[in-house]
Amino acid sequence: MERGPTLDSPKIQTDLTQRERQTPNTVRRGLSDYHDRRFPATSAPPEESGQPIRETKTLRVYGAIPSEVWNRLGTKVLPKLKSGTELKVGVDFIVKVDDASAAELESDLRQILEDLGLTGSVRTELQ
């Protein structure tokens, strides 16, 4: 069985190094429509009760995730992040498939995205 890249692979390490050099609060993705979208740091609105303004920081979590932990990401990491405000989560899945089955896979994925109500925010791209 062929396995995907691990976090130690040179390609993943190069990608991680490049992402660390990016401007803070910037997300870059290879083939997606949302590359180079800036997520501005946010500040809490002033309290109407006259309390001092609370400063906030933006925490960004990014990098390659091995398939063995994909499910745990949703059960462990996302609940922690929901404790903050203005959480934004995006995806960028890239897979090589046989030319003969590519169109059918894309059609299946589009149907799944429609069933999940994500057709307006998640797109597929066959190259």
Distances (CA, A) of 96 to 29, 41, 71, 106, 127: 17, 35, 21, 12, 10
Distance CA 36, CA 25 (A): 10
Distance CA 18, CA 2 (A): 26
Q: Output the six-digit token pair for 63.
A: 């990098």
The per-residue pLDDT for range 60-118, each reduced to its tens digit, is 988 988 989 989 988 999 999 999 999 999 889 999 999 999 999 999 999 999 999 99
Helices (H), the chain: 10-20, 70-72, 78-81, 99-115
This prediction's pTM:
0.52
CA dihedral 103, 111, 125, 15 (to 10 degrees): -110
pLDDT in the model for residue 20: 53
